[in-house]
A = this chain, B = another copy of it.
Amino acid sequence: MTDEPRWLDSAEEQTWITLVAMLFRLPAALDAQLQRDAGLSHFEYLILASLSEAPERTLRMSVLALLSEGSLPRLSQAVGRLEKRGWVRRTPDPTDGRYTLAILTDDGFDKIVATAPGHVAEVRRLVFDPMTKAQPKQLREIGARVLRAVDPNGPRPGTHPF
């Protein structure tokens, strides 16, 4: 900690600056597209999308929090907003009253169906179209390594929990 740190050489610094810029700008761009075209934040979109792919379009709040990459209080508030808009409803889990089930309504499903194509198109435009054929795999492998370092015990993303 107080030892001489190994500084970043100039190539590493370029990489780092580029990555930081991406960490700031890409989420902002995704939020902007979703907000503009669907009135949703990226986080809210992930909630609806996760539910739409779950069996019965239903998930426990705690599972949904993991899938949508948010804290439980944040999720609770976001689902409250989505509930007010009629896209999600909540009921206590009948098999265990401590859990709360979040359920995508039919309107919510329609909302995702209407929203997803535009969002996927934006993801293509910003991420996949600019990459060479080889780069997606490189990015996936780099991401997996970084995520392992960030949270060694975290579930490998893409390991679907159902």
Contact = CB atoms under 8 A, between A and B. Distances in A.
Interface of A: 1-2, 4-8, 11-27, 29, 46, 69, 116-118, 120-121, 123-131, 135-151, 154, 157-158
Nearest to A154: B25
A150 B18 contact: no
Count of identical protomers in the assembly: 2
Contacts of A23: 23, 26-27
Which of A13, A46, A140 has most chain B Cβ within 10 Å?
Answer: A140
A143 B12 contact: no
B8 A143 contact: no
Contacts of A151: 25, 29
Contact of A157 (B12, B18, B125): B18
